[in-house]
C-alpha cells in the first residue's frame, strides 16, 4: 500500500513526540478524549437542526476499551467522524499550525529541548498519542457517509489511508502501546484502574459520558449450599461497564468544587497556554438572562494575537451543548484577548450565526461581561501590580487600540487601565497616579515621545519641565500620542507634549523676555536658518533647554514621532505627513555662544557649526544622519 509522507513540520513534531522526554505523557488520554468530545459536540449540534441525524442527546458517549493481551487502548466516540480527506488534512499535516511562528517555535524548542511549550501552545493534541504508542490506527466514519476510512501510522516514516467498514458514525483511535522499558511503563495505559484515575484527573468535567469496563469485586452465589443449607458465596472479580466521569462541566461547579487551581489547569489545557492566566473571572448571573461563565485573562499573547489569524471569541454553550466555538459578539474588541466559556440555558439552540448577532440576550450578556472584565482588571491593577504589568506588557497595546478605535467610544471604559512609564519615579504609573501627584502649580500632564522610554526621558526638551519638579510620562508606542490626542485631558488636566512650543511654564514676564531675546538675536537666528536651509521651518530661541545647546521641536498637529509612525506605514507619500520642524537654540550654552562669535571671526567655521548643531538636534531626536560619512567629515572639519 502506498505510504504517504507527513508534512515536514509534522514530521519534526512527531519525532519530538516519539522521543519525548515530556514528563506528562499521560496527557495523551486527555487530548484524545477532548477530540472525541469535540466531535460529539459537533454532531449533537447538527442533530438540533437536522432530523436526519436521528440521535438524541442521551445517545452520545465516549468509550475506552483496553486490551491487556494485545497491549492496546482504544478511544471511541459516536461523534461527527472524519472523511478520508479530512483525515488527510487533520492527521497527516499540522493544518492550522503550519505557520512561520510555529516553525520558529519548533526550532526554539529543539534547541532548548523544551517540548512543553510546544505541546501547550500549538494544538498538537492528536500527535501526543505517539508518546505512548508505537502504532496509531484511526478508523472513522463521517456523518453522511456509508464507508469508513482507516488511517494508520507507526510514526515519522509516513501513514496509510484505506477504505474500510464501521458500524455507525464515529471514530476509533486505536493505540498499540509501546513495549515497557526499564524507565517507562506503557502497559499501564491498558489497566482499567489507571484509565479511571486519568479520567478523574484530567477529563472528569467532559460533558459526555466516558464509558469503560471497570473491574470490581462482587459477592456471587457459587450455586452450592453448606451443611446448614445456606447458599455458599464467594468473591469474584467482575467486569462491568460504567460511566467514569462526573460530567459536570467545571463552569457549572461552585468555587468549592472547582478551585481556582482547577480552573487554571482547565484553562491551560483547553486554551493551550503554557502559562497561568493572570485572572480567573467567574460569573453566575440570574435574572432576565441567566448564565454562568468562566473567563480567563491570559498572561501572554498567543503567537498570532496581533495578526489577522487570531480569532477572538468565547465558547458558547446552551444547557451544556456547545453552539459556537468562538462567539466574538460576546466580547468587545478591546478585550478580545479574554478566553473562556459562557453557558446560558436561555439562549435558543436553533440560532444561526446571523441571528446570534442580533440576539438581545447575547447583547445583555456581552454588556455585563464587559463590566466584569473591566472590574477584574482594575482590581488586579490595584492589588497585584506586578501581575497587572505582565498583562499590560502583553495586551496594553490592545487597550490603546481600543481607545483610538470605534471613534473613542470605549475611552471611558479603558482610560484608567492605562499605564505609562514615569520619568520621575522610573516605573509604570496610571494617569490617576500621575494626576494625584501633580503639584498645585502644574497645569498640564506632560509627556515625551521617542523610540524607547529611556530616550523619551532624556529628550532635551524635558529639562525645563523637570526643573519645575514636574513628572513626565514617557511614550514609546506608536499608539501613545494618538491616545493622548483622543483623550485630550484626564481629570480636567490637558496633555502637553514636551516638544510643543508653549509648555505653559513661562510667566508673562518670562515670555516677554524671551521675545526680547529673540529680537536681540534676530541676526543669529536668521543666520542659522540661512545656513541650514529647508531642513527646518524656523529657528527660535529656546526656554526649555538647560544643559543642551539645541533641540528639535515641531509646530502644528504632526509631531516628529507621528511623522515617524506615518512614514513607517507602507504607501505613505514621502512629502505628506511631515512635522514642521523648529530648531531651538539655548543662548546660554557655550556652543551657541561660540557659533555666534564665529559668525564675524570665522564665517566659514560658523557655517559648519550651524550644520553640526542641527545634526546634534536631529540625533538626539532619534533621526539618524542621511549621509553618515558626510556628517563625520563635517564634524572633523572643525578640528
Using CB under 6 A as the criterion, which residues of the chain lie in contact with ligand ADP when the complex forms? 31, 35-36, 39, 77, 79-82, 90-91, 123, 125-126, 171
Residue with cell 533641540: 551
- Could you tell me the smallest distance in angstroms from the CB atom of residue 128 to ligand ADP? 8
Instruction: Give the nearer residue to ligand ADP in terms of CB position, either 208 or 420.
Output: 208
Instruction: Give the nearer residue to ligand ADP in terms of CB position, either 12 or 410.
Output: 12
Instruction: Give the nearer residue to ligand ADP in terms of CB position, either 30 or 543.
Output: 30
- Rounded distance, CA 361 to CA 45, Å? 20
Instruction: Give the nearer residue to ligand ADP in terms of CB position, either 39 or 316.
Output: 39
- Could you tell me the smallest distance in angstroms from the CB atom of residue 160 to ligand ADP? 17
- Could you tell me the smallest distance in angstroms from the CB atom of residue 148 to ligand ADP? 12
Three-class SS of 337-402: CCEEEEECCCCCCCCCHHHHHCCHHHHHHHHHHHHHHHHHHHHHHHHCHHHHHHHHHHHHHHHHHH
Instruction: Give the nearer residue to ligand ADP in terms of CB position, either 314 or 347.
Output: 314
Instruction: Give the nearer residue to ligand ADP in terms of CB position, either 119 or 419.
Output: 119
Instruction: Give the nearer residue to ligand ADP in terms of CB position, either 119 or 551.
Output: 119
- Could you tell me the smallest distance in angstroms from the CB atom of residue 95 to ligand ADP? 7
Question: How buried is residue 314: exposed, middle or buried, by Cβ count under 10 Å (0-12/13-18/19+)?
Answer: buried
Instruction: Give the nearer residue to ligand ADP in terms of CB position, either 136 or 334.
Output: 136
> CA-based angle 361:362:367, to the nearest 5?
100
Instruction: Give the nearer residue to ligand ADP in terms of CB position, either 166 or 581.
Output: 166
- Could you tell me the smallest distance in angstroms from the CB atom of residue 106 to ligand ADP? 15
- Could you tell me the smallest distance in angstroms from the CB atom of residue 353 to ligand ADP? 19
C-alpha cell read off for 147: 464507508
- Could you tell me the smallest distance in angstroms from the CB atom of residue 87 to ligand ADP? 8
- DSSP lists the bridge partners of residue 150 as 139, 162
> CA-based angle 35:249:204, to the nearest 5?
65
Smallest Cα–Cα separation from 621: which of 445, 448, 422?
A: 448
- Could you tell me the smallest distance in angstroms from the CB atom of residue 73 to ligand ADP? 14
- Rounded distance, CA 78 to CA 74, Å? 13
Q: What is the CA radius of gyration of the chain?
A: 34
Count H helices and E strands in the chain, helices first: 21, 22
Q: CB of 284 within 8 A of CB of 372?
A: no
- Could you tell me the smallest distance in angstroms from the CB atom of residue 47 to ligand ADP? 15
Smallest Cα–Cα separation from 592: which of 535, 545, 536?
A: 545
Question: How buried is residue 264: exposed, middle or buried, by Cβ count under 10 Å (0-12/13-18/19+)?
Answer: middle
Q: CB of 393 within 8 A of CB of 405?
A: no
Three-state DSSP class for residue 536: coil
The set of residues, in sequence order, having a beta carbon less than 8 Å from that of 106 and lying 6+ positions away, is 9, 12, 13, 16, 118
- Could you tell me the smallest distance in angstroms from the CB atom of residue 35 to ligand ADP? 3
Strand 493-497 with 445-449, pairing: parallel
Instruction: Give the nearer residue to ligand ADP in terms of CB position, either 145 or 361.
Output: 145
Instruction: Give the nearer residue to ligand ADP in terms of CB position, either 141 or 611.
Output: 141
Smallest Cα–Cα separation from 391: which of 478, 293, 277, 305?
A: 277
Ranked by CB distance to ligand ADP, the top (closest) residue is 125
- Could you tell me the smallest distance in angstroms from the CB atom of residue 91 to ligand ADP? 6
Amino acid at each position: 500500500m502506498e505510504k504517504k509522507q507527513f508534512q515536514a513540520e509534522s514530521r519534526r513534531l512527531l519525532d519530538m513526540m516519539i522521543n519525548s522526554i515530556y514528563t506528562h505523557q499521560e496527557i495523551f488520554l486527555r487530548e484524545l478524549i477532548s477530540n472525541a468530545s469535540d466531535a460529539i459536540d459537533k454532531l449533537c449540534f447538527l442533530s438540533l437542526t437536522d432530523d436526519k441525524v436521528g440521535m438524541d442527546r442521551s445517545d452520545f458517549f465516549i468509550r475506552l476499551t483496553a486490551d491487556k493481551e494485545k497491549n492496546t487502548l482504544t478511544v471511541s466516540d459516536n461523534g461527527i467522524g472524519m472523511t478520508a480527506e479530512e483525515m488527510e488534512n487533520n492527521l497527516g499535516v499540522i493544518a492550522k499550525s503550519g505557520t512561520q511562528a510555529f516553525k520558529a517555535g519548533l526550532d526554539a524548542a529543539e534547541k532548548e529541548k523544551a517540548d512543553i511549550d510546544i505541546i501547550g501552545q500549538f494544538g498538537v493534541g492528536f500527535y501526543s498519542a505517539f508518546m505512548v504508542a508505537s502504532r496509531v490506527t484511526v478508523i472513522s466514519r463521517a456523518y453522511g457517509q456509508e464507508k469508513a476510512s482507516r488511517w494508520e501510522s507507526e510514526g515519522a516514516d509516513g501513514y496509510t489511508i484505506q477504505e474500510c467498514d464501521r458500524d455507525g458514525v464515529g471514530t476509533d483511535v486505536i493505540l498499540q502501546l509501546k513495549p515497557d522499558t526499564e524507565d517507562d511503563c506503557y502497559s499501564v495505559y491498558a489497566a482499567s484502574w489507571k484509565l479511571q484515575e486519568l479520567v478523574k484527573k484530567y477529563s472528569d468535567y467532559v460533558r459526555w459520558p466516558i464509558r469503560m469496563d471497570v473491574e470490581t469485586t462482587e459477592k456471587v452465589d457459587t450455586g452450592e449450599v453448606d451443611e446448614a443449607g445456606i447458599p455458599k458465596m464467594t468473591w469474584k472479580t467482575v467486569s462491568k461497564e460504567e460511566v467514569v466521569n462526573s460530567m459536570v462541566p467545571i463552569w457549572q461547579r461552585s468555587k468549592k468544587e472547582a478551585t481556582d487551581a482547577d480552573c487554571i489547569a482547565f484553562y491551560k489545557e483547553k486554551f493551550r497556554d503554557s502559562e497561568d492566566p493572570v485572572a480567573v473571572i467567574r460569573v453566575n448571573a440570574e435574572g432576565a438572562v441567566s448564565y454562568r461563565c468562566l473567563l480567563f485573562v491570559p498572561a501572554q499573547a498567543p503567537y498570532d494575537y496581533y495578526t489577522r489569524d487570531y480569532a477572538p471569541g468565547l465558547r458558547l454553550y446552551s444547557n451544556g451543548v456547545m453552539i459556537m466555538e468562538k462567539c466574538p459578539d460576546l466580547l468587545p474588541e478591546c478585550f478580545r484577548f479574554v478566553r473562556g466559556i459562557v453557558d446560558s440555558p436561555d439562549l435558543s439552540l436553533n440560532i444561526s450565526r446571523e441571528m446570534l448577532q442580533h440576539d438581545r440576550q447575547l447583547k445583555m450578556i456581552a454588556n455585563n461581561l464587559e463590566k466584569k472584565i473591566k472590574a477584574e482588571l482594575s482590581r488586579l491593577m490595584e492589588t497585584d501590580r506586578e501581575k497587572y504589568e505582565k498583562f499590560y506588557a502583553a495586551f496594553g497595546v490592545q487597550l490603546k487600540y481600543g481607545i483610538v478605535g470605534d471613534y473613542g467610544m470605549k475611552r471611558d471604559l479603558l482610560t484608567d487601565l492605562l499605564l505609562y512609564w514615569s520619568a520621575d519615579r522610573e516605573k509604570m504609573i496610571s494617569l490617576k497616579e500621575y494626576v494625584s501627584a501633580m503639584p498645585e502649580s502644574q497645569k498640564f500632564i506632560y509627556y515625551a515621545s521617542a523610540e524607547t522610554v529611556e530616550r523619551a526621558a532624556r529628550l532635551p526638551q524635558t529639562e525645563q519641565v523637570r526643573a519645575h519638579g514636574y513628572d513626565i510620562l514617557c511614550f514609546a508606542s506608536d499608539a501613545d500620542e494618538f491616545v493622548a490626542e483622543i483623550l485630550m485631558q484626564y481629570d480636567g488636566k490637558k496633555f502637553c507634549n514636551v516638544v510643543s512650543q508653549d509648555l505653559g511654564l513661562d510667566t508673562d514676564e518670562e515670555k516677554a523676555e524671551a521675545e526680547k531675546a529673540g529680537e536681540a538675536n534676530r541676526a543669529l537666528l536668521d543666520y542659522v536658518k540661512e545656513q541650514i536651509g529647508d531642513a527646518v521651518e524656523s529657528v527660535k530661541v529656546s526656554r526649555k533647554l538647560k544643559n543642551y545647546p539645541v533641540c528639535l521641536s515641531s509646530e502644528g498637529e504632526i509631531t516628529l514621532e507621528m511623522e515617524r509612525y506615518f512614514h513607517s506605514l507602507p504607501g505613505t507619500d514621502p512629502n505628506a505627513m511631515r512635522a514642521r520642524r523648529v530648531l531651538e537654540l539655548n543662548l546660554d550654552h557655550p556652543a551657541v555662544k561660540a557659533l555666534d562669535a564665529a559668525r564675524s571671526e570665522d564665517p566659514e567655521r560658523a557655517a559648519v557649526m550651524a550644520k553640526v548643531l542641527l545634526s546634534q538636534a536631529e540625533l538626539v531626536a532619534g533621526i539618524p544622519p542621511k549621509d553618515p560619512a558626510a556628517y563625520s567629515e563635517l564634524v572633523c572639519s572643525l578640528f
